[in-house]
Structure 1
Amino acid sequence: MLYSMSFPLSHNDKNKYRYSHHNGDSTCKGIDVHEIFMTKSRVRLLLSHIGILVCLVNCYISLVKDKLCSSSIWKITVIILFAKFMQYKPVKKESLVILPEFGLQLETHYWSGKIARRFVPGGKILRPVLNECVTPFTCYWSLALILHGEDQLMLVFQELKPPLKLLVPIWKALRSSFDVKEGSSA
């Protein structure tokens, strides 16, 4: 059964993310799939390619004109850092497949067709948590797992930074699948 939920999102997030939820059919009972799609922005992709092209032209001009002196090495370093900053993240969607008897499968799908998968055994999951991440430039929410025997949290969505309204139903599904009671400690 396919559920495609829409939540009231802020103007920035409305055109950026889409959430879909699939419950297992009669052959796959108990399997719960949560997907967050990144809408492909042609403007961002175009700006990214233009930025990289400008950086490459500047590198070429610096190498030909300056004949690789010490100032051109600094220019090239700054240009490479700028190109890295402008780089378009090619993530199409990230999904979480809850297999109650086994664990979780985390998938990242790229626009190129590449798929990165990670599996987390159910016995290793102590608790799913919602984290507020604060950086000097932004603040966002993330969904993470506290794992037995690990000293760091494992992010569920490593590439995308979906808004809290999309993370809450996934967090609740994780809590109910792994029997985390309200007020219990890990």
Structure 2
Amino acid sequence: MAEKHNANSRYIYLHETDKLPAQAVDIHHLVTRKNHRWTVVASFSAFVFLLNVFYLMLKQDILVSVLLLYLITGVAFLKLLRQKIVEKECVVIIPAFGVQLETHYRSGRAVRHFVPIDKILKPVLNECVTPVTCYWSLALIVREEDELMLVFKEVRPPLKMLLPIWKALCAATDSSGSLET
């Protein structure tokens, strides 16, 4: 059963728990809200592109093969843009087995990565500072890995959405869940 816990202008946080006979599966979803500005810009760009193609067709001093190349290039470009848009990212916590990290794209493609529970040393909250902005990220310290494994690779949710996920990961990995540095 999914419960809506938090929402802001960019993300919706959903928490779902499924009680199975042997154990509890804890699922955390971060759903990105649809950006209507992006849709307007993409639609306007496609409209201008098609007007350009029709103008060239009416002018009739350009080869049909060049027009087809324009159309194929435009369609391929729009398809590539659509593939990279993230719809949601999920963290599926199965305490006895591990953690599955999922990224779902608007194109329908999903990327999943499973981390066994015995390889997770500790989940950590990081404050990331760049010259332009500051944001929080959730990462896992994984045994035999040189770098931290980011839980959310594509989205940057606020700290209030990361805290319940971090606490659930701490409980599943038997890590201490204190916020002290």
Would you say 1:153 and 2:148 are equivalent positions? yes
Question: What is aligned with 1:5?
Answer: 5
CA deviation vs aligned residue, 1:82-119 (integer Å, no higher than 9, x gap): x9xxx675100000000111111000011111111001
Once residues 42 and 177 of structure 2 are traced to their aligned partners in structure 1, the CA distance between those partners, rounded to angstroms, is: 45
Judging changes above 3 Å, is the alpha-carbon distance between structure 1 residues 53 and 27 closer, same or farther for their aligned structure 2 residues?
farther
| Larger gyration radius, structure 1 or structure 2 | 2
Letter of the structure 1 residue corresponding to residue 24 of structure 2 = G
Q: 1:31 aligns with which of 25, 28, 35?
A: 25
Report the identity percentage: 47
How many pairs are equivalent? Answer: 148
Letter of the structure 1 residue corresponding to residue 120 of structure 2 = I
Deviates most, 127-136 or 41-50: 41-50
SS at match of 2:88: strand
Segments ≥4 residues shifted beyond 4 Å = 48-55
Judging changes above 3 Å, is the alpha-carbon distance between structure 1 residues 4 and 136 closer, same or farther for their aligned structure 2 residues?
same
Once residues 20 and 138 of structure 1 are traced to their aligned partners in structure 2, the CA distance between those partners, rounded to angstroms, is: 26
Judging changes above 3 Å, is the alpha-carbon distance between structure 1 residues 45 and 101 closer, same or farther for their aligned structure 2 residues?
same
Q: 1:94 aligns with which of 86, 89, 92?
A: 89
Letter of the structure 1 residue corresponding to residue 16 of structure 2 = H
Once residues 159 and 53 of structure 1 are traced to their aligned partners in structure 2, the CA distance between those partners, rounded to angstroms, is: 29
TM-score, with length taken from structure 1: 0.71
TM-score, with length taken from structure 2: 0.73
- What RMSD in Å do the two structures reach over aligned CA positions? 2.4
Question: What is aligned with 1:40?
Answer: 34
Letter of the structure 1 residue corresponding to residue 38 of structure 2 = R
Judging changes above 3 Å, is the alpha-carbon distance between structure 1 residues 131 and 48 closer, same or farther for their aligned structure 2 residues?
farther
